[in-house]
Amino acid sequence: MKKIKTILFLCGIIAITAFTCEKMSEKDNYSSGKIIKHTCGGTVLQFINTDDIIGETWRNFMVQYGEPVKSYPNCVLVGNLHTFIPANELREKEGDTIFFNYRKVDFFTVGGPWCLIGGLPKTQIEISDILDSK
C-alpha cells in the first residue's frame, strides 16, 4: 500500500510539473512584437526577440515639433489588430509587447486601413491569433 501511495504521489508531482512547463512555454508558440504606433492606416508593430528579418526599418515622423525622429528596425503594418482589441477598449498601448500568430499579406483582407496615410511600413501582416497577456 505504501508503494502505491508513493507512485501516486510521484505521478501527481510529474503531472503538476508538466502542466506548469506547458504554461510557461505557451508564449514560445507565438511571435512577439512591440506596438510602436496606432494610426488610422493600421498599427505599426516591431518584431522583437527574433533573428529573422520580417519587416523593415521604419522611421516615425509623427512626432511633436522639435522632437527627434526615431527609427525602429523590423517593423510591419497590422490592419486587423482591432478585431482582437476593439479600438474603444485598447488595452495594449504604444510600447506594450504582445504575443501573436500572423501571416504576411499583400493587402489587408480583414480590417483597415481606414485612411491612406503615407510613411507607414510596406510589409503587411494580419494577425490570426493573439495571446491574452492581461
Q: Number of structural domains, the chain?
A: 1
Q: What grid cell was written down for 131?
A: 495571446
- Nearest CA to 79 among 40, 51, 21? 40
* Mean pLDDT of all residues in 88-94: 66
* pTM beyond 0.85: no
Q: How far apart are CA 76 and CA 78, in angstroms?
A: 6
- The reply to whether 4 falls in a domain is no
Domain that holds residue 125: 31-131
The 10s digit of each residue's pLDDT in 10-25 is 555 555 555 444 455 5
- 3, part of any domain: no
Kindly state whether residue 78 falls inside one of the protein's structural domains: yes
Is residue 112 included in any domain, yes or no?
Answer: yes
pLDDT of residue 42: 87
